[in-house]
Amino acid sequence: MEERISVNPNIHFGKPCVAGTRIPVQSVLELVRKGLPFTQIIQDYYPDLQVEDIRACIQYADERELYSQLQSAAKVVFAKLWDNKEDEVWMDRDDELWEKLIEINPRIKGGKPVIKGTRVPVEVIVGALAGGASWEEVGEAYEVTLEQVRACLAFAAQMLTEETFVAVPA
């Protein structure tokens, strides 16, 4: 994806664009959200694009949305953990836990990571925590266990560990 999306402060004021073009990712995503088939987007709007470019735009948006939710959740979660000494154990990331309890299946929620055996996306759990919901409220609302919530956070932490972030001048 990195080779298909570029951010250049001299093109569209630094907004992400399809690499080698001046086509903003946002413009492509608006057409996708309207439900237009990829082939129609290429034929009617952006003949210089390839299907892989459109997929890269979607992936770029998904990753940025998840990252934003993770940042907010991390602030809330760590603030709660710091205030409650009994919960300090939550600071230890458990990679085996998420590998056991999180799955990615193209037939479930379009391939988004979900809690195994459910259709509950990881991003929903992380987003609920970021929004200020307690562990208990999340468990009740989505009928998941505390261990499954921990697995979602461990998964999110692992994804952030594997991601490379580049600061873009404003």
Tell me how far the alpha carbon of residue 123 is from its chain's centroid: 7
pLDDT digits (tens, 9 = 90+) for 74-104: 555 555 544 544 444 444 445 577 888 999 8
Does residue 51 contact residue 37 with C-beta atoms inside 8 Å? no
How far apart (Å, rounded) are the C-alpha atoms in residues 108 and 69? 21
**Mean pLDDT, rounded, for 34-60:** 89
Amino acid in position 129: L
Question: Which pLDDT score, from 0 to 100, does residue 86 have?
Answer: 45
Question: Which pLDDT score, from 0 to 100, does residue 121 have?
Answer: 92
Output the CATH code of domain 5-162: 1.10.10.10
pLDDT tops 90 at residue 66: no
Q: CA Rg, the chain, in Å?
A: 18
